[in-house]
Amino acid sequence: MIPTPVSLTDRFAALDLLPHRTPDLEDRASAESEVRWLDTLAAYRDGGIFIVHYAGDSAWERHQADEVVMVVDGETVMTLIIDGAATEVTMGPMELFVVPARTWHRFHTPDRVQVMTITPQPTEHCVEDPEELRSSDTGAAGHRRPTGVHTVDRSRR
């Protein structure tokens, strides 16, 4: 198979805006919604290259390897739990950030954003309060996994 370029402009144009993303919508919105707000551009290593177009809040998530996040258009605030503390990073158009492996993170987007990610799979999702995440497993042996965590593997869709 001969690789071909992917037009981000065309692929984003084919997406709808998910106007009210909520953490508890995470799986249902991509599987059941008529709004096509998420797309897989390509398989990549143990995961994929994904694009999304939404406004609202994501669930907490983490991955076993680094994730690359690039805002193509719009703005979002990413909250990361690093060394037990919440750290906020504001990202605007054409900004890129590497989320370290096993770092809980989520996105808050009041208006709208178009994001491309290179995301390892599987992904752990969690809706619970970040206070519990701060004191929970960040990958070290002997720590418990927070309640309410479920794993999603979008590479097999």
Residue 147 lies in a domain: no
pLDDT tens digits, residue range 11-51?
999 999 999 999 987 555 445 567 899 999 999 999 999 99
Residue 32 lies in a domain: yes
Q: What pLDDT is attached to residue 138?
A: 47
Residue 134 lies in a domain: no
Residue 141 lies in a domain: no
Tell me the whole-structure pTM to 2 decimals.
0.82
pLDDT tens digits, residue range 90-109?
999 999 999 999 999 999 99
Q: What is the 3-state secondary structure (H, E, C) of the chain?
A: CCCCCCCHHHHHHCCCCEEEECHHHHHHHHHHCCCCCEEEEEEECCEEEEEEEEEEECCEEEECCCEEEEEEEECEEEEEEECCEEEEEEECCCEEEEECCCCCEEEEEEEEEEEEEEEECCEEEECCCHHHHHCCCCCCCCCCCCCCCEEECHHHC
Q: How many domains does the chain have?
A: 1
Residue 137 lies in a domain: no
